[in-house]
Amino acid sequence: MSKTVKMPWVEKYRPKSLKEMALPTARVSGQRVKLDEELVDFIKSFFIERRRVNNENAKIREYNKIVIEKEQKEYLQIDVEKAAVLLEGPPGIGKTSIVYALANDLNMEVIETNASDTRTRATLEKKLKETTKSRGIMDFITESKEKLILIDEVDGIYGVQDRGAVPTIIELVQNTQFPIIMCSNEYKTSLQALYNKIRRFEVHPLPKREVLRIAHNILKNENITQLKEEDLELIIERNNGDLRGVINDIQGISQGKLEGDVKEFILSLRRDSLEEIFTLIRDLFHVNSLREARNLTDRSDVDYNFLYKWVNENLPTFIKTNRELVNAYENLSLADEIFGRIRINQYWGLLPYFFDLFAGGVALSRKETPEAKGFQRVVFPRYSTGSYFSVTGSQKDLVEKLNKKYEISQIDFIQNLLPFLKILCGSSRKQLKNISDWLELDAKQKKLLK
């Protein structure tokens, strides 16, 4: 790899084979299993089954040709359980990597669909059915690679226009000509129909020492020596088993600056696994009618308590002119007021107004701003009433020192005492000296008071 190519390390270090990969542990209904063996078995038994079914079907086809329609036999289908498996586990632990490594080992080609970008039944069908149902003529002539279908983020299918996504998937599984592996992040009741039919592997995060070993390998390979061991451990701890996150963080940190407060920087890194709400917010600002907006909010399982705060946070991203903003906020603030009244007086009958105002009213306020093209960054509501509170490391140290003399909670300190101390210490050096002597502060903490 030349040095000029900026390739994400996650791709660069994606394992090529199951043998070289750190395999996460997996369980099937509580029983611990060896994931690699199980998957290889699954693929092999699938092809055996497929040959059997295809042979049977060929016979049936011949038979059907000569009998009248009434006596025709049904075609056989591959057992659903033998056609697909589901890998379930937190993000970034290597579910996708396993599939790719497996395909590589068995000399297969992976066809990947990401359920969150092909969400309608039509597109899902279009993309998958061609590949699953029919094999090209050339396939019989040339020795082409077998295919492996990977449906990533099955749980990303949420009930908007793709109400039919789960039936579609089940239908696909029933008619497939290729083995299907699905990945999902969490157990979802809406996918229960799927779970009943196929084998579900619960994949667990890698143990810390494995993650550490991989991280060390990468660091060695990239010739990075500045990253301290304790910082590395902090990164791993923060990512909580998410190997992809760890690798991304290491890359981010080592390609950025390594001097200064690395710790603070690590703490500031955070990845969201809230893809669903992101998509929802993006979709919401693209609707053209109240009905569409209502459909969106009705069918998502995102808590509305929470959703309208997201709308508030991301409004200025999608709506630019002040006139539109005023309209949007007029609706949103009224929605908020109505919601407040609902909560206080328990008038739940008012809820429809709340929905229409915060979703439709806001989204339809966009008249002048052109429809956003390309990717729009959706951000987490950083401010929510009462629960907005953050404390930096040095502030924490200061509170701890103060707590030896006088009991005070962090939040009290930040909100009530610290602003005063800053003013007081800013007004005279003597006061600063008194306080820092009393608390035995070091230079860094002293700086906080200035």
Binding site for other proteins (CB under 8 A): 30, 238, 240, 305, 308-309, 312, 315-316, 322-323, 325-326, 328-330, 332-334, 336-337, 339-341, 343-344, 382-389, 405-406, 409-411, 415-417, 419-421, 423-424, 427-428, 431, 434-435, 437-438
- Closer Cβ to other proteins, 76 or 424, answer by number: 424
Query: Residue 319 in contact with residue 325, Cβ under 8 Å?
Result: yes
At 374, which amino acid appears? G
Q: What is the smallest separation between the CB atom of 114 and other proteins, expressed in angstroms?
A: 26
Could you tell me the smallest distance in angstroms from the CB atom of residue 246 to other proteins? 16
Decide whether 99 or 441 has the Cβ nearer to other proteins. Answer: 441
**DSSP label at residue 75:** P
Residue pair 28/41 in contact (Cβ under 8 Å)? The answer is: no
- Helix/strand/coil for 357: helix
Nearer to other proteins, 100 or 339 (CB): 339
Token digits for 32?
């611990």
Cα dihedral 326, 328, 329, 331, rounded to 10, equals 120
**Beta carbon nearer to other proteins, 29 or 223:** 29
Q: What is the DSSP letter of 204?
A: P
Minimal distance in Å, beta carbon 88 to other proteins? Answer: 14
Residue (375 or 389) nearer to other proteins, CB:
389
Distance, CA of 180 to CA of 252 (rounded, Å): 34
Nearer to other proteins, 106 or 342 (CB): 342
Q: Tell me whether residue 13 or residue 308 sits nearer to other proteins (CB atom).
A: 308
Number of alpha carbons in the 13 Å side-chain half-sphere of residue 209: 0
CA 397, CA 92: separation in Å to the nearest integer?
33
Nearer to other proteins, 375 or 388 (CB): 388
Query: Which distant-in-sequence residues (6+ apart) come within 8 Å of 203 by Cβ?
Result: 24, 25, 26, 35, 87, 88, 89, 93, 94, 95
- As measured in angstroms, the least distance from the Cβ of 380 to other proteins is 13
**What tokens appear for 246 in the block?**
């760890």
Q: Give me the least distance between CB of 345 and other proteins, in Å please.
A: 10
Tell the smallest beta-carbon distance from residue 279 to other proteins (Å): 23
Rounded CA gap, 96 and 112, in Å? 10
Q: Would you give the DSSP letter of residue 206?
A: P
CB of 313 to other proteins, least distance (A): 8
Which residue type, as a one-letter code, is found at position 221? N
Shortest Cβ distance from residue 170 to other proteins (Å)? 25
Closest separation in Å from C-beta 403 to other proteins: 12
Among candidate residues 236, 245, 381, the one with its CA nearest the CA of residue 313: 381
Residues of 228-240 as b/e, b for ≥16 C-beta within 10 angstroms? Answer: eeebbebbbebbe
173: left (phi over 0), alpha (psi -120 to 50) or beta: alpha
- Closer residue to other proteins, CB minimum distance, 122 or 391: 391
